[in-house]
Structure 1
Amino acid sequence: MTKPNPEREERRRQQKEIADRLKASGALDELFAKIDAGEPLTGEGGLIGGMLKAALERGLDAELTEHVGYERGDSEASLHENSRNGTSSKTVATEVGDLELAIPRDRNGTFTPMLVPKGSRRLDGLDGMIISLYAGGMTLRDIQHHLASTLGTELSHETISKVVEQIGEEVLAWQSRPLEALYPVIFLDAIIVKIRDGGHVRNKAAHLAVGVDMDGIKHVLGIWVQATEGAKFWASVCAELANRGVRDVLIVCCDGLTGFPEAVEATWPEATVQTCVVHLIRAAMRFISYGDRKAVAAALKPIYQAATADAARDALDAFEASELGQRHPAAVKTFRDAWERFTPFLAFPPELRRVIYTTNSIESLNYQLRKVTKNRGHFPNDQAAVKLLWLAICDIEDKRARDRAKERGLPADRRRADGRLVEGQAVTNWKRALEQLSLSSAP
């Protein structure tokens, strides 16, 4: 039998209690009658919009009462220094559509409402909705059309753009936040995004770095769009991480990037740059015919599962000499070209190999990010791409956290919610891996 979730049961109880109290009071009788008569709940002319309008105007009137010091209709109003001075009309965009509000005024012009602040044309909930839609991959024009068609709220392209731009400072703060002094392992992988560069749209690589801290917890350290190829770009990335507090890194796992190993070694001389083994296998299999794939994959296993570098070289030589290796020399060349960056992996014990075997943790994240970016066409600049990717990561982790919260209290065999994707995820058997890493790094 399913164990009830205490928090959910309490929330349901409170909601039912409020609903029953309103029904018993007769306050909802007129609303029910209008619903039965076919009047809409949402959209233009909807009942919910009317209720929200009434609630907001009542709250604004209460704010003005506190400001001027007397109730509406008070016979002693003339004794107060300030007084009411009618209302002004204001259109406010909300989650249920545009509302025409009567904003109360005071004679001295000193009333500053908190419920609907001066200059505000949207309620906070609508801004949150816009950012959520943007994080889900919608373009600004998609959001504009969605709000108009579902809520009846007409917002200009410029207004929606300003809402999204508000998070720019948050992204900048996240990208420049202080980091830990030591990350035993850092993974690096990239997603290709289309970005306008002058009069052309170019494919650029947005690189994501994920660091594993001393407690075995993963953190997204930053996102960098590669503006230039090679060592200069990677030197700037490593320098940025060092300036943010990273004093040492033990292993950096990545897919062979030109100039990256040199930049890492110049910044953290004791670090080991390890080629992602899964990427290496994929590269070796790239030109293998479908009929030979299974056989080649089996023949490559003794190489990357070898106990030592010498044993791995013997296995590679044996594969090269075989009839299968003779037919596929490109697979052999892929391993030989990456040999210097592949062999450090073979020096590590099994627990540590499992940690650094692949950049799959970032690849899983990138798979989700590609679903967000595939319908975007292209980005106007590098900053826009970084902003969306950061928002998407936050949105994915938040959705997963909400799903886990809903299942809290259920037996393990009935939980279906996904765990953390990357941010905050714990590495399996980390203590044992860290122990072996410290022994491997000892002089």
Structure 2
Amino acid sequence: MPQALWGTRVSASTVTDLNQKIYKQIEQWCQQPLVGDFPYVFPGWSVAEAQLGRRGEKRLGADGDWRCAERLSADPGGERRRKEDEASWTEFLRGLKGRGLKGVELLVSDKCLGLVENVVDFYPEAKWQRCVIHFYRNVWTAVPTGKVKQVATMLKAIHAQEDAEAAKQRACLVVEKLRAMKLARAAEIVENGIAETLSYYSMPPNTGAVCEPTTRWNG
């Protein structure tokens, strides 16, 4: 792999030395103070790092304008990714809080209980939003491959409604249709979990809350 990247053979010790230097720089960066408010926070995983987003003067929006997104922390060793338990998320959120993370209004993530249970302790006034992409994938586990595209269209229609009440009504219709399609388990997942994906409706328009940030930017 090093030879493929750099075009020359590199010894294992050289790679180790470079990794140690890089990790030290990342660790220093992870300790820098966070200045200003971060209304929308997106803990997500891309390979072995945590990515979070910030809304600046412009909205962090679902229209693809992610220029105001800012990465706040990373987990280069992948330790937190391997665990994702309550203790590791407590440590993570405590670290962000200690560095000055404030103004959090909405936190979007998958349904990792270790994280969800901790949000209220550190940011009691913030709302939690279940990542819609993760939710869709959860529903698709109960859908035959040949029907995934059809069900995906049905699910996206829920989150395209003008307000939360309309979205809930649409979700009821989707549940009925899934049952008519003999997809009882998928219908149950939607019925029991859809409310967790609608928190963004209480935020200003175009917050991008229904999106998974790692699908938009990786830099």
Q: TM-score if structure 2 supplies the norm length?
A: 0.78
CA distance in 2, matches of 1:211, 1:362: 10
Q: Which residue of 1 aligns with 2:152?
A: 297
Give the secondary-structure state (helix, strand or coil) at the position aligned to 2:83. Answer: coil
Q: Which residue of 2 aligns with 1:223?
A: 74
Contact 2:132–2:210 (CA<8 Å) still a contact in 1?
yes
CA distance in 1, matches of 2:148, 2:206: 28
CA distance in 1, matches of 2:164, 2:107: 19
Q: Which residue of 2 aligns with 1:147?
A: 8
Task: List aligned pairs for 1:348-359, cutoff 5 A.
Answer: 348=203, 350-352=205-207, 355-359=208-212
Task: List aligned pairs for 1:144-223, cutoff 5 A.
Answer: 146-148=7-9, 156-191=11-46, 206-216=48-58, 217-223=68-74
Is 1:319 the counterpart of 2:174 in the alignment? yes
Q: Shift of the alpha carbon at 1:144? A: 11
Q: Which has the higher strand share?
A: 1
Contact 1:186–1:253 (CA<8 Å) still a contact in 2?
yes
2:209 partner amino acid: I
Q: Which residue of 2 aligns with 1:232?
A: 87
> What does the per-residue CA deviation read over 1:267-302, in whole Å, with 9 as the maximum and x for residues that have no partner?
111111111222222322233223323332333344
Give the secondary-structure state (helix, strand or coil) at the position aligned to 2:104. Answer: strand
Q: May I ask how many residue pairs the two structures share in their alignment?
A: 206
Q: Shift of the alpha carbon at 1:174? A: 0.9
CA distance in 1, matches of 2:90, 2:27: 20
CA distance in 1, matches of 2:23, 2:43: 24
CA distance in 1, matches of 2:150, 2:179: 8
CA distance in 1, matches of 2:104, 2:159: 24
CA distance in 2, matches of 1:175, 1:308: 38
> What does the per-residue CA deviation read over 1:3-25, in whole Å, with 9 as the maximum and x for residues that have no partner?
xxxxxxxxxxxxxxxxxxxxxxx
Task: List aligned pairs for 1:73-152, cutoff 5 A.
Answer: 138-139=1-2, 142=3, 146-148=7-9
CA distance in 1, matches of 2:111, 2:99: 25
Unmatched segments (≥5 aa) in structure 2: 59-67
Contact 1:144–1:160 (CA<8 Å) still a contact in 2?
no
CA distance in 2, matches of 1:317, 1:214: 36
Give the secondary-structure state (helix, strand or coil) at the position aligned to 1:221. Answer: coil
Task: List aligned pairs for 1:264-275, cutoff 5 A.
Answer: 264-275=119-130
2:69 partner amino acid: K
1:264 partner amino acid: V
CA distance in 1, matches of 2:142, 2:189: 11
Unmatched segments (≥5 aa) in structure 1: 1-137, 149-154, 193-205, 366-420, 423-443
Give the secondary-structure state (helix, strand or coil) at the position aligned to 2:167. Answer: helix
CA distance in 1, matches of 2:19, 2:153: 50
Q: TM-score if structure 1 supplies the norm length?
A: 0.42
1:158 partner amino acid: S
CA distance in 2, matches of 1:181, 1:292: 45
Give the secondary-structure state (helix, strand or coil) at the position aligned to 1:351. Answer: coil
Task: List aligned pairs for 1:386-405, cutoff 5 A.
Answer: none
Change (3 A) 1:325 1:160: same
Contact 1:188–1:362 (CA<8 Å) still a contact in 2?
no
Q: Shift of the alpha carbon at 1:358? A: 0.5
Contact 1:209–1:220 (CA<8 Å) still a contact in 2?
yes
Q: Shift of the alpha carbon at 1:306? A: 2.8
2:24 partner amino acid: E
